[in-house]
Structure 1
């Protein structure tokens, strides 16, 4: 555990019980959410690689057109 996290827990331990529980739930929910996002991005890497390869093939085959930002 880092010294910063230790200090945060030390300060949090002095909060009233209700606030400690709110902080704990918030922290646990955030960690769970981050883990889920990591899993989703890991799953999407293969799809993104496939889409990129497809786009490059279409470019090589002359099936793409250059975008003109002024005509969007």
Structure 2
């Protein structure tokens, strides 16, 4: 366990069981979300690479405009 994670665990030890469980749920949901994103994108890396190449070609060909959010 890293020092930072250990510090976080120590900080929540005095919390009630309900609060500790709520924090644990948030952590586990975050981990599960990351896993799902990784799994989703791992199956489409070739398609993403192709889209990236196409976007680069369009930028180089001057077919894109700079986005000015203001």
If the length of structure 1 is used for normalisation, what is the TM-score? Answer: 0.68
More helix per residue: 1
- In structure 2, the gaps of 5 or more residues are none
- In structure 1, the gaps of 5 or more residues are 60-64
Equivalent-residue separation in structure 2 for 1:21 and 1:39 (angstroms): 26
Moved over 6 A (4+): none
If the length of structure 2 is used for normalisation, what is the TM-score? Answer: 0.70
Q: Is 1:31–2:31 an aligned residue pair?
A: yes
Larger Rg: 1
Shift of residue 49, structure 1, vs aligned partner: 3.0
* Aligned alpha-carbon RMSD (Å): 2.5
